Structure formats: structure tokens, C-alpha cells
Amino acid sequence: AQKVTQAQTEISVVEKEDVTLDCVYETRDTTYYLFWYKQPPSGELVFLIRRNSFDEQNEISGRYSWNFQKSTSSFNFTITASQVVDSAVYFCALSDNAGNMLTFGGGTRLMVKP
Amino acid sequence: EAEVAQSPRYKITEKSQAVAFWCDPISGHATLYWYRQILGQGPELLVQFQDESVVDDSQLPKDRFSAERLKGVDSTLKIQPAELGDSAMYLCASGEGFSYEQYFGPGTRLTVT
């Protein structure tokens, strides 16, 4: 069975601080896919990144960066120089080998204060 | 930019009544998903379609929930009869295929009284 754990339920930072959101996953598959989604107050889930299990290179996109470590089953997300607009709930998700089942973590609510 | 459309955005219904939600995926997306998101939790998959066929409905409470995607395009999720515990956000998503990223609609927030 697949499982995604986001231990941080809520994080509060002041604008311009860096913040890392943790994600730990469990799966028996050797091939799988990891995702991060953002859910702003409006409610619509916004896709941020997709990573397959064979690609352990870290990725940077603007102020966002992702650290995938297969050895520790973690896929952490860092926002550099946070902004108020980054305030949202962030979900880490895992899909199986065939991509059939997307399992979400419980989410981390990030609050960025001015 | 293409988007997933859902209607209605909000629905209030009394328990034991029937309720239906509609989803129009991004054009050309073969896979369509219905999720239920209870407040404060992550989305949980209810049913997954590949074109008009159900791929996975293992988490769908089939005694009261039904879903269809007759022509492989838009989809309807129905609850009959609604129960108080069905109050949640119902999200529809579509994708180009399995393992690809899913694009979500704005959701339908259901309140059962």
C-alpha cells in the first residue's frame, strides 16, 4: 500500500524567509511518480512538479526547488524568499507504477506573513 | 489556457436527497478522475476513467455513489441518497494519461443538512 506523510501540518514564516516542506513516502513499487500541488484559498489544486523515481536530480524553478532522496524516501520542497502569495496548502502525492492511483499526503498549510 | 470545468461550484442539499456534479475535462485528455476532499485533509480518489471506461472505482461507495463518462468526454458523479458525512469538496481532474500530471477543476463544495 502506498502512503504519503507530511508531518508539518502548519508552518508560519515571515516574508522573505526560506521554508522547506517535508514529504516522506512509502511504496513497494520500483517505478513511481511524485508530485507537489498547491491549493490556494480559492480551492483549486495547482500542479507544481512531477518527478519519476529514476530521476533523482534536484530541480529548481524560480524560487521553488525540490530535493528528491530515494535513500530516505523523501521529496522535500523549498521556497526561497517566501512571499505572501505563497500562502496556501501544499500537497505531496505519489502514484504507482502505472500511474493509476494518486495518493495524497495530508497537506502542509503555509502562512507567509508580511 | 485550457481548464477543467465543474458545476455547480456550491451545492446545499438535505440528507436523503439526490445530488449530481458535472465535470468537463481539458480537451483531449483521456483520463478523468473524481476525488473527494474532506476539510483539512488531502484529496481521496473515488473513481478513475480512461476514455469511457472505469479503471478504478475501488474507493467509490457504490451503494450510493455512481459515476459515468458516457462519450469519453464529460462526466457526472451522482450521490443518492446523500448523507451528512458526504459533506466535502468534490474535485474533478484530467490528464493526458496515466502517470502524467493531473489538472484539477475548481471543485464542487457539497453541504448536506
Instruction: List the pLDDT tens digit at each of the 114 positions of chain A.
Output: 789 999 999 999 999 999 999 999 999 988 899 999 999 988 889 999 999 898 888 888 899 999 999 999 999 999 999 999 999 999 999 987 766 678 999 999 999 999
- Decide if pLDDT at B105 tops 80: yes
Q: What is the per-residue pLDDT for A99?
A: 61
- Chain A closest CA to B99's CA: distance in Å? 4
Q: Which three cell numbers stand for residue B77?
A: 458523479
Q: What is the per-residue pLDDT for A58?
A: 84
Q: Which three cell numbers stand for residue A49?
A: 512538479
- Chain B closest CA to A34's CA: distance in Å? 9
Strands (E) across B1-113 are located at 5-7, 10-13, 19-24, 31-37, 44-50, 53-56, 65-68, 75-79, 88-95, 103-104, 108-112
A50 touches chain B (CB under 8 A): yes
B93 versus A96: the higher-pLDDT residue is: B93
- Chain B closest CA to A105's CA: distance in Å? 6
Q: What is the per-residue pLDDT for B71?
A: 87
Q: Which is nearest to B104 in space by CA: B42, B50, B57, B34? A: B34
Q: What is the per-residue pLDDT for A98?
A: 67
- Least trusted range by pLDDT, from A10-14, A59-63, B4-8, B96-100: B96-100
Query: Which residue of A43, A47, A91 is in closest CB contact with B106?
Result: A43
Q: Which residues of A57-89 are buried (b: 16+ CB within 10 A; e: fewer)?
A: eeeeeeebbbbbeeeebbbbbbbeebeeebbbb
Q: What is the per-residue pLDDT for A60?
A: 87
- Decide if pLDDT at B27 tops 70: yes
**Residue matched to cell numbers 532522496:** A69
Q: What is the per-residue pLDDT for A57?
A: 83
CA–CA dist B98, B46 (Å, integer): 16
B22 versus B98: the higher-pLDDT residue is: B22
At A62, which helix (H) or strand (E)? Answer: none
A82 touches chain B (CB under 8 A): no
Is the Cβ pair B105, A107 closer than 8 Å?
no
Q: In the predicted model, what is the mean pLDDT of residues B40-61? A: 92
CA A9 vs CA A82, A97, A110: distances in Å: 18, 28, 9
Q: Which three cell numbers stand for residue A35?
A: 508530485
CB pairs under 8 A between A and B: 56
